[in-house]
A and B are shown apart, each in its own frame.
Chain A
Amino acid sequence: MLGVLVRRGAEFAADEDAVQDALLEALRVWPADPPRDPQGWLVTVAWHRFLDATRADTARRRREDRVHETPAPGPVSAADDTLQLYFLCAHPSLTPSSAVALTLRAVGGLTTRQIAAAYLVPEATMAQRISRAKRTVSGVRLDRPGDVATVLRVLYLVFNEGYSGDVDLAAEAIRLTRQLAAAIDHPEVAGLLALILLHHARRAGRTAADGSLVPLAEQDRGRWDTGMIAEGVAVLQRALARDRLGEFQAQAAIAALHADAPSTEETDWVQIVEWYDELVRLTGSPVVRLNRAVAVGEADGPRAGLAALTALDDTLPRYTAAAAYLHERDGAPRTAARLYAEAARKATDLAERDYLTRQAARLNSR
């Protein structure tokens, strides 16, 4: 078992301590809940302890480096125990926020302080959240297969949290998803990896120097990371070839069509609408229907987009913003300005509110 840890780069002395801790833990837990794979269990727990003991300075430094260099491509060695840990951290008995916190701590190896900083809460609060999550899953057997969809949802949540403080959660999510994709052969895992690579590749273009939001049509496509786009597309194509479509693959396909286009006008909107139809079929999500309406507006003109909108619930998030955009394209700037202002009041995101306010102001000052 020490060998397993040493191969993962642990120092021998620290290993011994970690193994001791794991054995103590086994004595405590096994009588009531014996694992099917005792060695895998021990390696997982010992690795966990080792991370606890050594993550402080070296781990932080490595992570800070990763923030600057984008995540390195290439496979990560597969390990069954890591996989078990994934499923444990995304266990359905945890709330999404607990699952995210536990995943970052146990699989990602972030310190409690770093996770707290990323979520802008006190360290004591995050420590409680994590220890509650640990208690919740403490009775769960590590060898029970979990639900891949839940693991993927947790990783996508981590990705969408963005970054603050010294941890880049998007980069962390990419690293973890790569690790998962190396450990498990599943087209939706590849679909998620492709999706977040394609999103991440466009990250530099999504915000201006002052932090304000740049919409897709105005983004400087020269700032997109073409290497990462190529990797995302390749991962997606391999997944699609398996012919087991899922929502992450469909979303990645849409992201790939955006990333492939030299400009908004030259985007293959017809194909994007077709992928949205697939997504509607797979998820039935009203948010997907809303995005589809916007894509229809690009493919068949703003009137068609507005017609698709009227079938939807107008209390959906971003419904008003979408309506404003389509009305402007339809040559109704006054209606659009009023709707942009209304959408700005409803926005729950600072960058988005400022963007919508500017849109209203631009039309009002013409």
Chain B
Amino acid sequence: MAKYLLLKHYRGAPASVNDTPMEQWTPEEISAHMQYMNDFAARLEKTGEFVGSQALSPEGTFVRYDGEGRPPVTDGPFAETKDLIAGWMVIDVDDYQRALELAGELSAAPGAGGKPIHEWLELRPFMGECPTITE
């Protein structure tokens, strides 16, 4: 089994095909979108491939050490160019093909007009921690 992180971006990923901001969808479209993602997670729980997921606030801050005795520097509210993560899901699947298949399915969540968003999701493998026996 291999674990993968699925990253949903607010910003930083290429634009979706069906790229209408959520606030311009109808409430029913938003509900359908949420339902799709909940159903997706619930199904992965049933297949034994679900590890965890969380949504993240769009308000993030970069923080940096600024030298001895000084308070840390923060980036303030100017986040125009910053990559922003909307949320993540961790899955534990048999192989990379299965991870791709699931990411593709999540990317098909319905958006404006009830059509799939075709959103770009970032798929990142976890580093394994058990050394394989190869000597």
List the interface of chain A (C-beta within 8 A of B). 95-98, 101, 119-122, 124-126, 128-130, 132, 159-164, 199, 202, 206-207, 213, 216, 255, 258, 291, 318, 347-353
Contact B132 A121 (CB under 8 A): no
The answer to whether A258 touches B135 (Cβ under 8 A) is yes
Given A125-B51, A162-B131: A95 in contact with B92 (beta carbons within 8 A):
no
Residue positions of B touching A, CB distance < 8 A: 1, 3, 45-52, 92, 94, 125, 127-135
Question: Are B131's CB and A125's CB within 8 A?
Answer: no
Q: Is the interface of B mostly helix, strand, loop or mixed?
A: loop
Task: Tell me, in angstroms, the Cα distance from A129 to B50 when the chains sit together.
Answer: 10
Chain B positions within 8 Å of A206 at CB level? 131
Asked if residues A125 and B92 are in contact (CB atoms below 8 Å), the reply is yes
The answer to whether A349 touches B128 (Cβ under 8 A) is yes
Cross-chain contact of B131 among A119, A122, A129, A349 (Cβ < 8 A) = A349
Main secondary structure of the interface of A (DSSP, over half): helix
- Whether the Cβ atoms of B130 and A161 lie closer than 8 Å is yes
The distance in angstroms between the C-alpha atoms of A216 and B131, with both chains bound, is 13
A97 vs B51: C-alpha distance when bound (angstroms): 15
CA distance A126 to B45 in the complex (A): 9
Nearest-neighbour CB distance to chain A for B104, whole angstroms, equals 19
Q: Report the minimum CB–CB distance from B39 to chain A (whole Å).
A: 16
Residues of B within 8 A of A98 (CB): 48
Give the distance to chain B from A324, nearest Cβ to Cβ, in Å: 15
9 cross-chain CB contacts under 8 A = A95-B94, A101-B48, A122-B52, A130-B48, A162-B130, A163-B130, A164-B129, A206-B131, A255-B135
User: Quick one: closest A residue to B44, CB to CB?
Assistant: A125
Residues of A within 8 A of B49 (CB): 125
- Which residues of B are found within 8 Å of A130, using beta-carbon distances? 48
**Across the interface, do A349 and B129 meet the contact criterion of CB distance under 8 Å?**
yes
A194 → chain B closest CB, angstroms? 14
Among B1, B3, B132, B134, the one with the most A-chain Cβ atoms within 10 Å of its Cβ is B1
Shortest distance in angstroms between A203's beta carbon and chain B's nearest beta carbon? 9
- Residues on the B chain within 8 Å of A255, using CB: 135
Given contacts A95-B94, A125-B92, A291-B134, contact A349 B127 (CB under 8 A): yes
Cα of A120 to Cα of B1 in the assembled complex, Å: 11
CB distance from A351 to the nearest CB of B (A): 5
Chain A residues with CB below 8 A from B1, complex form: 97, 119
Interface contacts beyond A97-B1, A128-B47: sample of 17 additional A-B pairs, CB < 8 Å, sorted by A: A95-B94, A97-B48, A97-B94, A98-B48, A121-B92, A122-B52, A126-B48, A130-B48, A132-B46, A132-B47, A132-B48, A164-B129, A213-B131, A291-B134, A348-B127, A350-B129, A351-B131
